[in-house]
């Protein structure tokens, strides 16, 4: 009997220690206030960040056009292998949106995927990209968002099966896949480095164009090499030099107008990307093109019969 009590006590002790270790390893990250202490947001610069980061593509109401894309009431649904995520209201409404957020709150969301209340955000919000955004750009974006029209529409919940409803486990996921390191390194020209920032820190192109493993982490060895469409049928194309042979001018023109060198036009999600990028200066579009020409080539996978 004494032996059984010792075994029970040891098992209970190990369980408590394992639980404490999990709780410590999965804790949400936060930045100190000093990160933004000397930074003042500029709304005019923030507007460009807003377009480059594609905020309206996810957070404007489905089907919104023109000025309506500035009303970030959320509601758009994103099917995935892990369930369906719904974009929240990020308008400056004090109750329904993020009107009560400070610039530091936004920075923590962008860099750490952490809410003002200290919870984990799901990586359907591409903080795995935004973690590379500079503090200045985060502050500028905050200044711009606070000037947009408020919407009282309540955010809809995600539709996820167990165990993906347990957000605390995202802390372990972040330890595996949340990194501020650049994917494409080396001796880049100023134009290529600007393009890298636009793609790897703001534009989150890799979130769609890079395949994922079973845990939803990006397979960075196949960076921008094309991926299955998480919404179902079809494949998102390879945009490395191994799958896209367009010139820099062709790429920049496509990002500005949506027209390909073959006189085809962008559709679906890419049409919204073009809508966002068309607000940027042509020098930025050429920088993105220069970066894409510098990305290591990935050989395109053959399409399956279902695609």
* Closest to 55 measured CA to CA, from 47, 66, 43: 47
Do 228 and 139 reside in the same domain of the chain? no
* Structural Rg of the chain based on CA atoms: 21
Structure confidence at residue 114 (pLDDT): 96
Q: How many domains does the chain have?
A: 2
Residue 135 lies in a domain: yes
What backbone phi and psi angles, to 5 degrees, belong to 289?
A: -60, -45
Do 217 and 292 reside in the same domain of the chain? yes
What backbone phi and psi angles, to 5 degrees, belong to 240?
A: -80, 170
Cβ pair 303, 247 in contact under 8 A: no
Do 201 and 173 reside in the same domain of the chain? no
Residue 217 lies in a domain: yes
What backbone phi and psi angles, to 5 degrees, belong to 265?
A: -135, 155
Do 134 and 171 reside in the same domain of the chain? yes
Structure confidence at residue 20 (pLDDT): 72
Do 175 and 75 reside in the same domain of the chain? yes
Crossing angle for the helix pair 135-145 and 103-112, to the nearest 10 degrees: 120
Do 176 and 188 reside in the same domain of the chain? no
Residue 96 lies in a domain: yes
Do 220 and 234 reside in the same domain of the chain? yes
Do 193 and 174 reside in the same domain of the chain? no
Structure confidence at residue 243 (pLDDT): 87
Do 57 and 118 reside in the same domain of the chain? yes
* Closest to 57 measured CA to CA, from 227, 271, 224: 271
- Say how far apart CA 216 and CA 81 lie, in whole Å: 9
Last residue of a domain, one of 180, 215, 241: 180
Structure confidence at residue 306 (pLDDT): 40
Residue 126 lies in a domain: yes
- What b/e readout covers 40-60, taking b as 16+ CB neighbours within 10 angstroms? ebbbebbbbbbbbbbbbbbbb
Do 146 and 199 reside in the same domain of the chain? no
Q: What is the pLDDT of residues 75-119, one digit of tens each?
A: 899 888 888 999 999 999 999 999 999 999 999 999 999 999 999
Do 147 and 168 reside in the same domain of the chain? yes
- Say how far apart CA 72 and CA 64 lie, in whole Å: 10
Residue 291 lies in a domain: yes
Structure confidence at residue 14 (pLDDT): 61
What backbone phi and psi angles, to 5 degrees, belong to 178?
A: -100, 110
Do 233 and 102 reside in the same domain of the chain? no
* Domain of residue 190, residue span: 183-301
Residue 192 lies in a domain: yes
Residue 6 lies in a domain: no
pTM of the model: 0.88
Other C-beta atoms within 10 Å of 103: how many?
21
Low-confidence ranges of the chain (pLDDT < 50): 304-307
Residue 26 lies in a domain: no
Structure confidence at residue 108 (pLDDT): 97
């Amino acid at each position: 009997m004494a032996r059984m009590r010792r075994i029970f006590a040891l098992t209970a002790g190990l369980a408590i220690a394992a639980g404490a270790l999990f709780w410590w390893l999965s804790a949400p990250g936060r930045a100190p206030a000093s990160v933004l202490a000397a930074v003042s947001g500029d709304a005019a610069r923030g507007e460009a960040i807003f377009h480059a980061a594609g905020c309206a593509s996810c957070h404007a109401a489905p089907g919104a056009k023109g000025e309506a894309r500035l009303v970030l009431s959320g509601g758009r649904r994103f099917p995935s292998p892990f369930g369906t995520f719904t974009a929240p209201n990020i308008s400056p409404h004090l109750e329904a949106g993020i009107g009560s957020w400070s610039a530091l709150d936004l920075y923590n969301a962008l860099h750490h995927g952490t809410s003002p209340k200290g919870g984990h955000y799901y990586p359907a919000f591409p903080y795995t990209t935004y973690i590379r955004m500079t503090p200045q750009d985060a502050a500028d974006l905050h200044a711009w968002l606070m000037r947009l029209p408020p919407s009282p529409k309540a955010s809809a919940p995600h539709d996820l099966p167990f165990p993906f409803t347990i957000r605390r486990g995202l802390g372990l996921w972040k330890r595996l896949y949340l990194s501020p390191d650049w994917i494409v390194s080396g001796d880049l020209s100023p134009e290529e480095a600007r393009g890298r920032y636009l793609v790897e820190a703001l534009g989150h192109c890799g979130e769609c164009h890079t395949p994922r493993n079973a845990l939803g982490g990006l397979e960075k060895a196949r960076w921008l090499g094309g991926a299955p469409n998480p919404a179902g049928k079809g494949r998102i194309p390879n945009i490395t030099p191994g799958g896209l042979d367009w010139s820099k001018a062709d790429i920049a023109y496509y990002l500005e107008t949506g027209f390909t060198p073959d006189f085809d036009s962008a559709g679906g999600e890419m049409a919204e990307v073009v809508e966002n990028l068309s607000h940027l200066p042509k020098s930025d579009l050429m920088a993105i093109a220069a970066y894409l020409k510098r990305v290591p080539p990935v050989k395109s996978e053959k399409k399956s019969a279902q695609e």
